[in-house]
Amino acid sequence: MIEIKHLSKTYNADDAARAHQALVDIDLTIDDGDVFGIIGESGAGKSTLVRCINLLERPTSGRVIIDGQDVTDLSGKQLLELRARIGMIFQNFSLFQQRSVLRNVTFPLELAGTSKAEREKRAHELLELVGLGDYANSYPVQLSGGQQQRVAIARALANRPSIMLCDEATSALDTMTTHQILELLRSINEELGVTIVLITHSMAVADAICNRVAVIDGGRIVEEGETSEVFAHPQAQMTRALLGIEGQVTA
């Protein structure tokens, strides 16, 4: 379970002229086994919010509690161990270009000091799981976007995380490929029991895979609930705008 309590994030807090409040008093609970969608327009603060979960970004105030453990102030080795327990995938895949597909997947295991034989065995299993068993010795440049994101998913699963963060994981992909990647994420959620936190600006993506969603606007959560409920009875103006019910929000 991920509990986010009164979380605020101000960038450049020490410089009044450049200070920018990206998140304001966020309260959110993500249960084990959820596929939790965080939806919002560009600049709403989505990335900042998920990056606070694995502390790539330090909250300015508030707490982040994972499985009952307050992780907000972790540092040093404990912080690295926390991050290793949380998988992450990205919009641009972020595969290491000079590493083969296999060695991309073994990367997190190398960090943990797993033996070579063991990590390669695990990587081959994961590549089978994501449907890329034949591509172990390829390099990222030789793969399509969808294939690259599959490798990234295999890499994120290497450490057997209980949580996976997806920052716009399908935004760079076409509709068909997006659909396939979402199916893969769904099966990972259902079969491996991985809790998924998924950022998107697409209502269609959220609708396809999330059981719960939160809508974020200007750094604040403006609506949260069961996906079906939120989509059927949107309350906040931003939700309606994203659903295309009311006219576009004025910029």
Interface with Mg ion by CB under 5 A: which residues? 47
The C-alpha angle with vertex 1 and arms to 190 and 236, in degrees rounded to 5, equals: 90
* Closest by Cα among 219, 224, 181 to 23: 219
Whether 213 and 227 have beta carbons less than 8 Å apart is answered as yes
Residues 195-234 that bind ligand ATP (CB under 6 A): 201
Contacted entry of ligand ATP, Mg ion, other proteins, none for residue 108, CB cut-off 5 to 8 Å set by kind: other proteins
Site for other proteins in 84-143 (CB under 8 A): 84, 86, 88, 90, 92, 94, 96-100, 107-108, 110-112, 139-142
Query: Of the two residues 36 and 93, which places its CB atom closer to other proteins in the complex?
Result: 93
Interacting positions 30-49 with ligand ATP (CB under 6 A): 40, 42-48
- Quick one: 159 or 223, whose CB is closer to ligand ATP? 223
Query: HEC states along 151-207?
Result: HHHHHHHCCCCCEEEEECCCCCCCHHHHHHHHHHHHHHHHHHCCEEEEEECCHHHHH
Task: Compute the radius of gyration of the chain from its Cα atoms.
Answer: 18
Name the region of 233 (left: φ>0; alpha: ψ -120 to 50; beta: rest). beta
- Looking at the Cβ atoms of 163 and 205, the one nearer to other proteins is 163
Question: How many binding residues for ligand ATP (CB under 6 A)?
Answer: 13
- Nearest CA to 147 among 159, 158, 134? 134
Under the binding rule (CB under 8 A), the answer on residue 12 touching other proteins is no
Asked if 201 and 39 touch (Cβ cutoff 8 Å), the reply is yes
Least distance in angstroms from the C-beta of 205 to other proteins? 21
Does 20 help bind ligand ATP (rule: CB under 6 A)? yes
Interface residues with other proteins (CB under 8 A) are: 54, 56, 79-84, 86, 88, 90, 92, 94, 96-100, 107-108, 110-112, 139-142, 155, 159, 165
Interface residues with ligand ATP (CB under 6 A) are: 11-12, 20, 22, 40, 42-48, 201
